[in-house]
Homo-oligomer: A and B are copies of this chain.
C-alpha cells in the first residue's frame, strides 16, 4: 500500500464513504508489504558514495558485462570482485572507463573520487601470496571513498619489517590485516596500535592450514582485544566494515 492508496482511504473516510471502524478493518487486512513506506533509514548518509557491487565468481563473461553495464547507468562507481580477465574483456566493450585490477581480480569503474572517510584505512598482508586478498580490500576501500595505505610482506617471522611501519600504521583509523598459514599477524598488529583491526584469514598455505581454517581459528583466538574476524579470503567484507568505521 503506497501513500497514494492510503490517501484515498483517508479521503473516503473524510467524505463519510468509509466509517472509521471500516477504515481500521481495511488497514488490518492490508497485506504487510504495503505498509512498507513506514520503513526508516537512519543510515542513508553512510551509504552515499558506495559503489554497486557484483560478485564475478560463477558468472559468465556475458552475464558480468550485462549487469555491470546496467549498474553503470545508475551508479557512478561500480565494482566486480573475483573477476577474471575474460570477464573484463566482455565488460570493457560495454562499459567505457572500466579498468581491471589484476592483482585484486577486480573490475572497477570509478567516476567519482570523493573521499567520504574521516581518516585512512591501512591494509596489511603477511606474505606475497596473501596479496590478492589484500588487494581486493584495497580496491574495495578505494571505490568506497576511502584513503588507503598498504603494507605488504610484513609477516611475523620477520617482525622488524612490521615494526618499521609502526608509525605509519598508527596513523590509520582502522586496519585490515590479511594473513594465511598461522594467521598470527593480526595479533601482533593489534598489540601495536589502538584502533580496530579487521582480520582476514586467507586460504594461503598447505597441509595443516586446511584451506584457511588454521588462520581462521588463530584469529578467533587472538590475544589482542581489538581484533575481529571476517570469512576466509573475504577482502571485500573487511573493506566494507572498515569503510563503515571510517565514516562514523
Assembly CA distance A217 to B14 (angstroms): 55
Dominant SS at the A interface? helix
Q: Are B221 and A209 in contact (CB under 8 A)?
A: yes
Question: Can you name the residue of chain B whose Cβ is closest to the Cβ of A47?
Answer: B194
**Residues of B contacting A231 in the complex (Cβ-Cβ under 8 angstroms):** 206-209, 220-222
Assembly CA distance A180 to B57 (angstroms): 15
Q: Which of A1-22 contact B (CB under 8 A)?
A: 3, 6-8, 10-11, 13-14, 16, 19-21
Q: Mark A9-42, 1 if CB is under 8 A from B, else 0.
A: 0110110100111011001101111011111111
Question: Can you name the residue of chain B whose Cβ is closest to the Cβ of A20?
Answer: B10
Q: Mark A53-81, 1 if CB is under 8 A from B, else 0.
A: 00001100000000000000000000000
Please state the number of chain copies in the assembly.
Answer: 8
Besides A42-B171, A208-B212, A229-B230, 5 new A-B residue pairs in contact (Cβ under 8 A), listed by A number = A182-B182, A194-B244, A207-B212, A209-B221, A220-B230
**Residues of B contacting A84 in the complex (Cβ-Cβ under 8 angstroms):** none
Q: Does A245 sit within 8 A of B, measured CB to CB? A: yes
What are 18 A-B contacts defined by CB distance under 8 Å?
A: A13-B23, A27-B37, A31-B40, A32-B167, A46-B194, A46-B195, A157-B223, A159-B188, A163-B163, A174-B248, A182-B183, A182-B222, A207-B233, A208-B231, A215-B218, A217-B217, A217-B218, A228-B229
**Residues of B contacting A11 in the complex (Cβ-Cβ under 8 angstroms):** 20
- Given A182-B221, A221-B215, A43 contacting B193 (CB threshold 8 A): yes
Assembly CA distance A213 to B31 (angstroms): 36
Residues of A within 8 A of B (CB-CB), count: 109
**Residues of B contacting A90 in the complex (Cβ-Cβ under 8 angstroms):** none
Q: Mark A77-113, 1 if CB is under 8 A from B, else 0.
A: 0000000000000000000000000000000000000
Give 7 nearest A-B pairs by CB, closest first.
A43-B194, A207-B232, A184-B184, A10-B20, A33-B164, A157-B191, A228-B228
Q: Are A196 and B159 in contact (CB under 8 A)?
A: no
Q: Are A32 and B196 in contact (CB under 8 A)?
A: no
Contact of A184 among B119, B182, B208 (CB under 8 A): B182
Interface hub of A8, A33, A174 (most chain B Cβ within 10 A): A33
